[in-house]
Chain A
Amino acid sequence: MPCRRAGKSLLVIGLLTVIVPGLIWLTLWNGTVHYLPYYLPCPETFSMKLQYAEEKPVQLFHQLFYPQPRSLDQKRKDVLTLTPWLAPIVWDGTFNSEILDSAYKPLNLTIGVTAFAIGKYTRFVGRFIESAEKYFMKGYRVNYYIFSNEPQAIPRVQLQSGRSLSIVPVKKYSHWQEISMRRMEAINRHIADVSHREVNYLFCLDVDMVFHNPWGVETLGEMVAAIHPGYYKVHRSQFPYERRSSSAAFIPDSQGDFYYGGAVFGGLVKQVYEFTKACHMTILADKANGIMAAWQEESHVNRHFFSHKPSKLLSPEYIWDDTKPQPPEVHLIRFSTVNKNYREIRD
């Protein structure tokens, strides 16, 4: 009878829709699950093709007088100055600023700096900019991009010629972790909208820090990362990487080169664009899985620098923590944290 046959086929179909996916699931399950964030809002900037200012090769060095480099005379014998993938690690004593300036100055570069001053963090902008005016890329054109939810709270600081400051309005999220992690998306969007036309190199710095010593063109490179001051002597298994395999920022115990600080990264604006895009995508993937990485976007920065190794590393001179005593290998501190009460400013 048609009713019973229909009922039987319905039953068969019903069982198949449960059993077949179940079998597929059992065979493909390997213990971990990952999802693509198709249904999460990716900024439209991710699919834009940007026209960058033409990349300028470092070329002609004019006549200069300086001590001869000697093949058997390594100045810094106490520290690693080259990574296994041949990226220079910039320490005091490894470079000659005069030679580098003579190569870079004629290129008429503009260097961008992004810093996020949201909520109570606006109080750090004054000292950040003042110290940058004294020490950051002196003699070069610099554009400061201060991202803030309160443009009127940003103090007006006197800038030298060739340097400009613009305030980028952003929204304030409810949790400080969210604010921190959304920086990648904001930087990426800003590059697509504005800075890819204005700068050649871009540095993304934390604003609650101050420059104490020169930071020059020795730091320029395709993709630049800085080594976190707290972990540069420990074994990789003790790096505070994200260790849960369900996170997209996961790095296993046996892997990893260095622990990089999220407070400093940069490079050619094209590379920073791709880097922030990749970081934001992994942050979104984690959101889809309901997980937040151990050190927010710093964990994602580390994950990405592990698979796409930076072309230049900055020693902890460039990203210091003032609460730490200065060890002998750190000859001078160029950029370091400002002492603050975290609980008070993060609410």
Chain B
Amino acid sequence: MPLAGDGNLKVISAFFLIPRQADLDETFSVLPRMSYAQPFLDKPQRTDVLLMSPWLAPIMWEGTFNRDILNTQYRQKNLVVGVATFAVKKYVRFIEGFLRSVNIFFLSGHRVNFYLFTDHPEKVPSMKLAPEKRLFIIPVESYSRWQDISMNRMDIISSYIRNRWRYEVDYLYSMDIDVQLFEHIGVEIIDTLVGTISSWQYTKPRENNSYERRPESRAAIPRGEGDFYYAASFYGGSVSEVYKLTTACFKGVTEDRANGIEAKWHEESHLNKYLLYHKPTRLLSPEYYWDDELIRPPIIKVKRLSSVRKNLKEVRS
């Protein structure tokens, strides 16, 4: 058997055949040449934060991933991402800031459909979005109580997935409207079931987390259980997983209403119960939803998405 004999044999065969480099590349789908620093097994990038959950779900922190590699892998899959957001009553004032910042920083260069639910479609400012971004304005009715507006989002998302979005997008994320992006949020967020660790509670032991504890509520998490406290302001995943999540959470909300109880943090409590028993496949650090009222410690190196300062009492009236 010829071993390493690339000399003579090649020259003779070469004379009679035409080289087809392009063919070989196509057959073996070579990733385009990229140059990046070598990852070393004994040199972790960050030691100050938890990088993986105990069930091996990666946690997104600045400095742990290379977005160029991720983008190249992502582009090969031809995916469309949907974002559902609600701007009802006085919250319409946040639409412009939201759209302007997501247009620049959210999945830049990739296809995204923004589904904006609002009770005042006429108040949506006309804005030119990047070519891969599309905006769909969907009229929706508002409720008198802001808590109901908040909780019914789950129901709306669930029914839209069932009727429409499962044909339009591969991944779906729910984001609060009263936020702005200051740094890129990219394809590192794309995974089957994704939750964001709350910026208020990421240092707290589970006994002090704001889980619903009353056993009468469907959102109750017993003492001694709980992983992280997830923020309802930003979650998502594959269309089928988000469907299951929103359906289950809204079922909990409805059952609670029938029993005359309302969970401590509304749909966020139900979300936390769901994500405890259906563990996310990827977690986003508080960089991905930072509450502006908090002072940002050095461990949070980047503030990608932050809530907009507002007078809660005024805007919710």
By DSSP majority rule, is chain B's interface helix, strand, loop, or mixed? loop
Q: Which residue of A lies closest to B36 (CB)?
A: A84
User: Quick check: A66 and B54 within 8 Å, CB to CB?
Assistant: yes
User: Quick check: B27 and A85 within 8 Å, CB to CB?
Assistant: no
User: Quick check: B4 and A233 within 8 Å, CB to CB?
Assistant: no
Interface footprint category on B: 35 or more
Contact of B44 among A34, A60, A64, A81 (CB under 8 A): A81
Task: Report the stretch among B18-26, B97-105, B138-146, B157-165 that lies at the interface.
Answer: B18-26
Contact of B53 among A29, A33, A34, A69 (CB under 8 A): A69
Chain B nearest CB, measured from A129 CB (Å)? 28
Q: Does A308 contact B (CB under 8 A)?
A: yes
Interface footprint category on A: 35 or more
User: Quick check: B9 and A289 within 8 Å, CB to CB?
Assistant: yes
Q: Which of A60, A69, A99, A257 has the most CB of B within 10 A?
A: A69
Cα distance A29–B14 when bound, in Å? 10
By DSSP majority rule, is chain A's interface helix, strand, loop, or mixed? loop
Per the 8 Å Cβ criterion, residues 34-70 of B in contact with A are 35-36, 38-56, 58-60, 64-66, 69-70
Cα distance A84–B43 when bound, in Å? 12
Q: What A residues does B31 contact at CB under 8 A? A: 306-308
Q: Does B89 contact A (CB under 8 A)?
A: no
Task: Report the stretch among A185-193, A206-214, A278-286 that lies at the interface.
Answer: A278-286
Cα distance A34–B47 when bound, in Å? 45
Q: Does B2 contact A (CB under 8 A)?
A: yes
Q: What A residues does B224 contact at CB under 8 A? A: 65
Cα distance A246–B46 when bound, in Å? 39
Cα distance A49–B203 when bound, in Å? 50
**A84-B66, A100-B55, A246-B10 given as contacts; is B18 within 8 A of A232 (CB)?**
no
Q: Does A120 contact B (CB under 8 A)?
A: no
Q: What B residues does A82 contact at CB under 8 A? A: 45, 51-52, 58, 64-65
Cα distance A329–B206 when bound, in Å? 30
User: Quick check: A71 and B277 within 8 Å, CB to CB?
Assistant: no
Q: Does A59 contact B (CB under 8 A)?
A: yes
Number of CB contacts from chain A to chain B under 8 A:
204
User: Quick check: B21 and A95 within 8 Å, CB to CB?
Assistant: no
Contact of B4 among A71, A291, A329 (CB under 8 A): A291
Cα distance A312–B52 when bound, in Å? 12
**A28-B19, A79-B42, A178-B1 given as contacts; is B278 within 8 A of A59 (CB)?**
yes
**A35-B13, A80-B45 given as contacts; is B24 within 8 A of A68 (CB)?**
no
Q: Does B122 contact A (CB under 8 A)?
A: no
Cα distance A103–B57 when bound, in Å? 13
Q: What A residues does B285 contact at CB under 8 A? A: 71
Q: Give 1 or 0 for each of A83-117: 1 = CB within 8 Å of chain B CB.
A: 11110111000111001100100000000000000
Q: What A residues does B49 contact at CB under 8 A? A: 71-72, 74
User: Quick check: B40 and A95 within 8 Å, CB to CB?
Assistant: no
Chain A nearest CB, measured from B178 CB (Å)? 24
Cα distance A233–B43 when bound, in Å? 9
User: Quick check: A290 and B10 within 8 Å, CB to CB?
Assistant: yes
Q: What A residues does B131 contact at CB under 8 A? A: none
Q: Does B294 contact A (CB under 8 A)?
A: no
**A28-B19, A84-B39 given as contacts; is B28 within 8 A of A281 (CB)?**
yes
User: Quick check: A34 and B20 within 8 Å, CB to CB?
Assistant: yes
Q: What B residues does A90 contact at CB under 8 A? A: 56
Q: Give 1 or 0 for each of B267-282: 1 = CB within 8 Å of chain A CB.
A: 0000000001111011
Cα distance A98–B129 when bound, in Å? 47
Q: Does A24 contact B (CB under 8 A)?
A: yes
Pick 10 A–B contacts, CB within 8 A, sort by A: A28-B18, A33-B10, A68-B206, A69-B228, A74-B49, A84-B39, A233-B41, A233-B42, A244-B4, A290-B2
Identify the 5 closest CB pairs spanning chains A and B, nearest first. A96-B54, A84-B66, A77-B47, A290-B9, A290-B2
Known: A63-B225, A257-B38, A291-B3. 17 other contacts (CB 8 A): A21-B18, A32-B21, A34-B19, A65-B224, A71-B50, A71-B202, A74-B46, A80-B41, A81-B51, A84-B65, A84-B69, A99-B54, A100-B56, A103-B55, A178-B1, A292-B3, A307-B29
